[in-house]
Amino acid sequence: MKLKIGIFGGSGYGGSELLRILLQHPNAEIVLVTANEQAGKPVGEVHRNLYGLTDLKFTTAPEDLGALENLDCIFLSLPHGQAMEIVPRLPETVKVIDLSGDFRLREKEIFEEHYGREHTAMDAQGEFVYGLTETNREAIKDARLIANPGCFATATLLGLAPLVAANLIDGRVIVDAKTGSSGSGNKPAANTHHPQRSNSFYAYKPFTHQHVPEIEQELRSVGDWTSELVFMTHSLPVSRGIFASIYAALKRALSEGDVRSLFADFYGDSFFVRLVKGSPDINWVKTTNFCDLGFAARGKQLVVFSAIDNLVKGAAGQAVQNMNLMFGLDEKTGLMLLGSNP
């Protein structure tokens, strides 16, 4: 039996990646994919990379969400603010994975400060499990509702979690993170359209990025996180990928080998975390569900380098990884996605 899947918001980059992955998933059958602006159009005409691979057509979102009880799992790949309107109206028999930021933060005031909108479904928020697979695997297995992590949060948390769990950090942590243009979605805006940023480089949202409270919230669930976090994001002139350099002062001197052993123990059961020598490269992880981590150490000073594809491990791939766990499947199912060279 295949899981019957619905995707809300299938016309954007996140929805496109969900379709690319789930169309090849041996245990999944997509029976509903919505995109109000593209309703009636074949998926393969909107996403030309999928041309000839599916007969699916986009539809409008159904008015009676309660009638979706025939579905096993729904992915919400919608702009911030829309999932909170939908989730309370869905059948309680359906499992839901939200790729937006609507249910990541547990405190209403913090959400409203960082997302600039009222949260109208905090009762539902209390049922959501944070979906960073590598640090929350057991809770995800038993969850019905998953808040998929943000892309920057994924890259940063995977680079910091072993250090926080081992109580090794002493003082301030600085994260210098860079992302490709696809992280801004498929609708061009003045400062995010790729022609504008393809030969440019700049910082944005200094000290105010919405992933900061998400990162700190989850680090507190991993260990005794009391450090100051300085988090800076930058526009990278590529289409896909996130690269984060994470600078930390340690309580004791560690060699690169010591750090590698610590991370290898922490991620021993995590197929999609790869430890590389020196610096990772976003080219090695593009179109895959891998997070590559590298290290540089000097006494008590440590840099962790983290690289992911923002649309896969940072969004759709991680969502499918969580779906696999929620339904008792091997978490690698449908996610053995190979990168390219070059």
Q: Is 73 in the active site?
A: no
Which candidate, 208, 183, 2, 161, places its Cα nearest to that of 99? 183
Alpha carbons 12 and 168: distance in angstroms, whole number: 40
Query: 91: exposed, middle or buried (C-beta count within 10 Å: 0-12, 13-18, 19+)?
Result: middle
Alpha carbons 168 and 254: distance in angstroms, whole number: 10
Q: Which residues of 17-36 are buried (b: 16+ CB within 10 A; e: fewer)?
A: bbbbbbbebebbebbbbbbe
Which candidate, 331, 325, 330, 328, places its Cα nearest to that of 129? 325
Could you tell me the maximum CA-CA distance found in the chain, to the nearest angstrom? Answer: 61
The token pair at 112 is 């409203």
Q: Estimate the share of the chain in helix, then strand, then coil, as percent rounded to the nearest 5.
A: 35, 25, 40
Alpha carbons 303 and 207: distance in angstroms, whole number: 20
Alpha carbons 270 and 267: distance in angstroms, whole number: 5
Residue of 78, 151, 248, 291 marked active site: 151
Residue 335 DSSP SS3? coil
**Complete DSSP assignment for 43-70:** HHHHSGGGTTS---B-BPPPS-GGGGGG
The token pair at 186 is 């498929």
Single-letter code of the amino acid located at 24: Q
Alpha carbons 200 and 73: distance in angstroms, whole number: 40
Catalytic residues: 151
